[in-house]
Chains A and B, each alone.
Chain A
């Protein structure tokens, strides 16, 4: 398989082409076993910028087998030392922040200045944060009897499956895999079909630090790639972010195996503005809360704004003016406030 170097690459178009048609598992970029791919589209132009590998059950199984082997050694590494390696991933991701920001702007349409750079910076921060928590994986002792030493210890689950959304793929991947790895697990990630490239690059960069097989990622669609990950007999936990509809499918599949799940699903979050609120502050809060710079594509979007009658009209006028002043345009343009939907 061709290699893609891990030096800084700030031209997202070149990087997208270089990463084309690959998963990353067992320590290497790999094509799908079937050779199948699907197109990755730049939502700002409608042009194809790359292909992504079309993952299926056989690819998932190969990645899970690699993860099982890697986890056997990883769980024997001291928790603080695991944390140090995860923190080192944070350092490398921080050095690549601009590269990752540009690539995620290209594939998701999120404006570079207002959204994508912020996300790339938080990505590194999440690894740094969890990397420092290794020694917190503590147990307890209980004075059950003077002659019976009684303790509770925390053990890793084994192989964790993570299924990502496309709206904030970097941060949401980090929140799933950084703690899973520090806790002594291996991970197999299924990326979102709309945003498979930047998370692939992140896993490739992580693998310059971590032992092969610990962090694996496959691209594909729910029925062909996500479903076999959830139902794989050796995957002991699934963490999913996405829609309520798909969340229910994941939950049912996990119930068949009686494994735990974490589900982060939708929202219709209320924002209540009282008559004594600072109107300008609340308007700025509504713009931030609605994630207008991300085209509102957020599970926490403050999409129900309840405004007291006494300030309703002035609130609406100022909100309209503020959103009107935002510039929609090419996500990679520094002047752009709002990019595209995916």
Chain B
């Protein structure tokens, strides 16, 4: 079921604007096409779950692995989930964006290598040269 939110502006000068109403889909499963493919628009799916082991497996059942988040007040569950989620950036009780000083980059089809952080400068924009000077 699709819940269509907000409203497209009515001003005449915006009549040809590329306004897309946010869509929240419910009643979908992780196997649904909208839960598999990246849409890159204001579309999300809300998936109902009951079994913890199944939801972790479903969360990881994706070709991508960029980010993930866990929302709970149970520290043990949070610690378990963050170690099992297959993603480059995993957060508990927040959804921050990329930060300049934190290593950022995905696993699986989400990419190769890291951006941001000192690591990105050292590992991705330099070559290491080994030099030996025989003084004997």
A residues within 8 Å of B by Cβ? 43-47, 109, 122, 125-126, 129-130, 133, 136-137, 139, 144, 147-157, 160, 167, 171-172, 175-176, 179-180, 182-185, 237, 239, 244, 247, 251, 260-274, 276-278, 281-282, 285-286, 288-290, 292, 295-309, 312, 315-316, 319-320, 323-330, 338, 340-342
Contact = CB atoms under 8 A, between A and B. Distances in A.
A150 B130 contact: yes
Interface in B47-98: 47-50, 55-56, 58-59, 62-74, 77, 81, 85, 87, 89, 93-95, 97-98
Interface residues of B, number: 92
Interface string B97-136: 1101100111001111111101011101111111111111
Contacts of A285: 69, 71, 93-95
Among all A-B residue pairs, the 10 with the closest Cβ atoms: A267-B66, A46-B16, A289-B95, A179-B121, A262-B113, A274-B72, A270-B59, A296-B42, A147-B136, A277-B71
A13 to B, nearest CB: 13
B118 A136 contact: yes
17 contacts: A148-B136, A153-B131, A179-B124, A244-B38, A269-B87, A270-B68, A272-B71, A282-B71, A286-B44, A303-B43, A303-B45, A305-B47, A307-B46, A320-B24, A326-B22, A338-B6, A341-B20
Contacts of B122: 136-137, 154, 183
A152 B130 contact: yes
For chain A, what secondary structure do more than half of its interface residues adopt (helix, strand, loop), or is it mixed? Answer: mixed
B81 to A, nearest CB: 6
A86 B4 CA distance: 45
B78 to A, nearest CB: 8
Nearest to B60: A270
A47 B17 CA distance: 9
Contacts of B45: 303-305
A328 B20 CA distance: 9
A341 B62 contact: no
Contacts of A299: 38, 66, 106, 110
A145 to B, nearest CB: 8
Given A148-B132, A156-B126, A274-B70, A302 B109 contact: no
Contacts of B64: 265-269
Given A154-B122, A306-B49, A328 B131 contact: no
Given A185-B125, A260-B124, A272-B81, A43 B18 contact: yes
A56 to B, nearest CB: 27
A45 B12 CA distance: 9
B22 A171 contact: no
B115 A264 contact: yes
